[in-house]
């Protein structure tokens, strides 16, 4: 007997020995990674970021939920379909994460599809809760107090004591299933309550005593485009118990119906089962999930957990994370920094999520009714692309490229099924929740780095987004195509007269112009590699459209009308409606593909550096939101590399920590964390689709990066972990270099990089024009 566990048939009892192979299947390893003596997974603290951020920039620039990382202490495989978390909030409402550290009541344990670190919605989720004594069923009434000292959170298990019920709860996970142990501290009546988390009063629950199951579903609804409309699928679940029920029933917000087995489409529905337990007795529960059907949820559960007990599943998941974390082994004096680093790496590998069942089944994209099959690959959903194209997907391209290839192909599958490449695809639907067209950037980065190939038919979808406007307004309204593309093509910028009404973020014309210019550049790189020289030239020209919203008089971007005049009222230090989630000064530096061109607009290096110095002196840098994540690295483009080294070191020390409030803003599907991972390694992808990384200097004394091709990249930086933040010199494979960037293809060939670090800046290293990273302007 055995089971398919992450694609490997594991015989009962093999446990950890076989689990060391899991990373190879899940993440495309070509060689089995040896489990090291040091357990890196022990450094991960999933509670980091679950409390409000306390950093200075978060308090100054963040608004509302922007001051919280919005992560939950997920127990999950990397990119798991369903993530398991304690629940302190019973809603799926936008911007409400399922767990907050500051809450004192646990309402249950959720099978969640919350986009980690976001301000979107959970969807298709379900919750179960163990109870002793009198039956309580509604989330707000059944909750139990808990103490953080009695809470243990890791990537592979979560444990907590439910004070009010004297119950110890434990959970672990597989790719699509959750496993639970509830140990009751009192002899007497025990219950487990199960409910779909529908805010709309919809869903279905059925108790099946004959098979010791509770099954059900929670219909998914859209937000942003088609707000409150059905998304065309549900989150299905099958809950199986290890013993027969003494009693059972269903309920809604009005009361309990004993010995009734089904209920649907009412507010607050759920089901419960009851048992008689002795003191210290444990009830085992397993939950299978699916986005296609109850039968498929049962099949997922059977394939992933059949005859694997809780401890084996927990150890398997522990080994999966251990092998992934060992892709980057860091050495240094600070244990706290290791916790921050490995927690960031964990957070980086939570989304997007695998959407298909064990047999490859998944509902077609964009509300289609057809069930499709992913074949031998996984199909991914929930791409927070305004955020993750910056560092998350480049990190996957470096560490786990075969997995990122499946993600990029999933995006092409969405285009094939819906007719348009999506902008910000969530809950398997089109949305235009955020600005830009950064699926193009993510795909181009993977293509330029040889992670994927692009067929001519796939390439047409990229061009379609850049050049075409939906002829059917309903298609545009539903989130297909670039917002305000007609204005952008006509004027070379989005004028203030275009309010961009069919978008969740209205206006924001200047930010759209800047981001489209970058996306056009990224696509020009793809066009060039595809041999499409005509479109490559057109797009490269459009990539300089940032000029059209830059005010030389203000040394800053500024709102502009269709007649060419800039808006009269102007304050670059405060938020403006033509800027996305920030100030004009913060967005001025969003020209990642052409910093040399921006230097020229500011009058040369001295003018650029004075302006950038002033920006930081005025406290304008806000690390808690993504548009500025490239800013700390920009001095490498202007002959002041030591300032980049200072800034990155300062940000790592002040915007991140190993405390529960140790993330300075929304983690946004791992982008905030991926920034830290790159910065700690000593380099950053300023302009994805350019196969280069801008150097800032490592945060650890030694890093060993095990690449998917089996090669090792060793980075030595003695003294870095003790505060030596300035690069004195650099050698690559023994050869001195003053280049202030690394080439991606050199790095994936492995080798040894030696940094000489110091306490004082070397103001001559890496400053010559020939030492600088790529810019579109030659």
Query: Rounded CA gap, 544 and 565, in Å?
Result: 19
Query: Rounded CA gap, 725 and 649, in Å?
Result: 7
Phi, psi of 92 (to 5 degrees): -105, 15
Tell the residue number behind the tokens 């092409």, with chain if given: 412
* Residue of 76, 80, 666, 38 lying closest to 325 (CA atoms): 38
HSE-CB of 509 using CA atoms within 13 angstroms: 26
Q: Which residues pair with 742 in a beta bridge?
A: 693
Contact (CB, 8 A) for 190 and 138: no
In order, the DSSP letters of 663-686 are BSS--GGGHHHHHHHHHHHTEE-S
In order, the DSSP letters of 754-778 are EEEEESS--TTTT-SGGGSPP-S--
Contact (CB, 8 A) for 384 and 115: yes
Run means of pLDDT, 10 residues per run, the chain, 778 residues: 33 37 40 59 98 79 78 98 98 97 98 97 98 98 98 98 98 98 98 98 98 98 95 98 98 98 98 98 98 98 96 98 98 98 98 98 94 97 98 98 98 98 97 96 98 98 98 95 98 98 95 98 98 98 98 98 98 98 97 98 98 97 94 98 98 95 94 98 98 98 98 98 98 98 98 98 98 96
Q: pTM of the entire structure? A: 0.94
Q: Which residues pair with 85 in a beta bridge?
A: 110
Query: Rounded CA gap, 470 and 420, in Å?
Result: 9
Query: Rounded CA gap, 749 and 713, in Å?
Result: 8
HSE-CB of 768 using CA atoms within 13 angstroms: 6
Antiparallel, parallel or unpaired: β 692-695 and 683-684 = antiparallel
498: left (phi over 0), alpha (psi -120 to 50) or beta: beta
Contact (CB, 8 A) for 484 and 509: yes
CA separation, residue 34 to residues 15, 88, 324, 669 (Å): 16, 38, 11, 29
Query: Rounded CA gap, 514 and 502, in Å?
Result: 19
């Amino acid at each position: 007997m055995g089971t398919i566990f992450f694609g490997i048939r594991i015989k009962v009892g093999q446990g950890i020995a076989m689990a060391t192979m899991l990373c190879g299947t899940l993440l495309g390893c070509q060689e089995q990674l040896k489990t090291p003596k040091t357990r890196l997974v022990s450094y991960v603290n999933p509670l980091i970021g679950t409390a409000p951020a306390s950093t200075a920039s978060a308090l100054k620039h963040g608004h509302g939920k922007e001051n919280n990382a919005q992560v939950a202490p997920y127990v999950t495989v990397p990119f798991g379909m369903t993530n398991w978390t304690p629940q302190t909030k019973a809603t799926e409402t936008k911007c409400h994460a399922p767990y907050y550290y500051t809450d004192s009541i646990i309402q249950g344990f959720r099978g969640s599809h919350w986009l980690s670190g976001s301000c979107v919605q959970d969807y298709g989720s379900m919750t179960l809760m163990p109870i002793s004594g009198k039956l309580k069923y509604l989330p707000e009434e059944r909750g139990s107090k808990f103490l953080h000292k009695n809470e243990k959170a890791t990537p592979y298990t979560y444990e907590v004591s439910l004070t009010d019920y004297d119950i110890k709860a434990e959970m672990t996970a597989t790719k699509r299933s959750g496993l639970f142990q509830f140990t009751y501290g009192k002899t007497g009546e025990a219950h487990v309550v199960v409910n779909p988390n529908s805010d709309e009063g919809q869903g279905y629950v059925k108790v099946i005593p004959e098979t010791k199951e509770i099954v059900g579903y929670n219909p998914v609804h859209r937000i942003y485009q088609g707000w409150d409309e059905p998304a065309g699928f549900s989150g299905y679940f099958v809950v199986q118990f290890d013993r027969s029920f003494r009693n059972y029933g269903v309920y809604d917000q009005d009361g309990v119906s004993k010995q009734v087995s089904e209920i649907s489409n009412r507010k607050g529905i759920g089901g419960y089962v009851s048992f008689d337990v002795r003191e210290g007795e444990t009830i085992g529960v397993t939950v299978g999930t699916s986005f296609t059907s109850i039968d498929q949820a049962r099949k997922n559960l059977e394939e992933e957990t059949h005859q694997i007990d809780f401890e084996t599943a927990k150890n398997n998941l522990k080994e999966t994370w251990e092998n992934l974390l060992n892709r980057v082994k860091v050495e240094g004096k600070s244990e706290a920094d290791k916790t921050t680093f490995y927690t960031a790496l964990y957070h980086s590998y939570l989304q997007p999520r695998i959407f298909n069942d064990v047999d490859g089944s998944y509902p077609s994209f964009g509300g289609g009714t057809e069930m499709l099959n992913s074949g031998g690959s996984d199909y991914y959903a929930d791409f927070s692309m305004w955020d993750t194209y910056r560092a998350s997907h480049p990190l996957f391209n470096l560490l786990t490229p075969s997995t990122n290839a499946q993600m990029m192909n999933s995006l092409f599958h969405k285009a094939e099924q819906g007719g348009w490449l999506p902008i910000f695809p969530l809950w398997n639907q089109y949305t235009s929740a955020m600005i830009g067209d950064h699926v193009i950037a993510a795909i181009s980065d993977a293509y330029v780095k040889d992670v994927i190939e692009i067929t001519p038919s796939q390439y047409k979808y990229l061009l379609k987004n850049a050049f075409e406007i939906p002829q059917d307004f309903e298609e545009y309204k539903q989130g297909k195509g670039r917002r305000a593309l007609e204005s952008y093509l006509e004027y070379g910028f989005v004028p203030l007269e275009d309010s961009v009404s069919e978008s969740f973020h209205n206006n924001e014309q200047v930010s759209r112009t800047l981001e489209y210019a970058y996306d056009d550049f990224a696509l020009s790189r793809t066009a060039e590699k595809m041999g499409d020289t005509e479109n490559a030239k057109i797009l490269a020209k459009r990539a300089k459209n940032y000029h059209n919203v830059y005010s030389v008089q203000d040394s800053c971007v500024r709102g502009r009308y269709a007649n060419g005049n800039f808006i009269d009222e102007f304050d670059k230090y405060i938020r403006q409606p033509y800027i996305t989630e920030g100030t004009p000064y913060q967005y001025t530096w969003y020209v990642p593909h052409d910093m040399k061109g921006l230097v020229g607009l500011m009058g040369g290096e001295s003018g650029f550096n004075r302006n950038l110095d002033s920006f930081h002196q005025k406290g304008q840098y806000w690390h808690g939101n993504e548009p500025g994540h490239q800013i700390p690295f920009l001095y490498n483009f202007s002959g002041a590399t030591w300032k980049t080294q200072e800034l990155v070191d300062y940000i790592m020390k002040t915007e991140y920590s190993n405390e529960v409030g140790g993330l300075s803003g929304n983690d946004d599907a791992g982008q905030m964390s991926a920034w830290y991972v790159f910065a700690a390694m000593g380099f950053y992808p300023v302009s994805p689709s350019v196969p280069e990384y801008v150097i800032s200097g490592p945060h650890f004394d030694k890093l060993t990066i095990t690449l998917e091709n089996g090669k090792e990249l060793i980075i030595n930086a003695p003294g870095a972990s003790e505060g030596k933040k300035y690069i004195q010199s650099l050698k690559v494979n023994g050869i001195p270099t003053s280049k202030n960037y690394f080439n991606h293809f050199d790095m994936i060939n492995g080798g040894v990089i030696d940094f000489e670090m110091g306490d004082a800046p070397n103001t001559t290293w890496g400053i010559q024009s020939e030492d600088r990273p790529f810019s579109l302007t030659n």
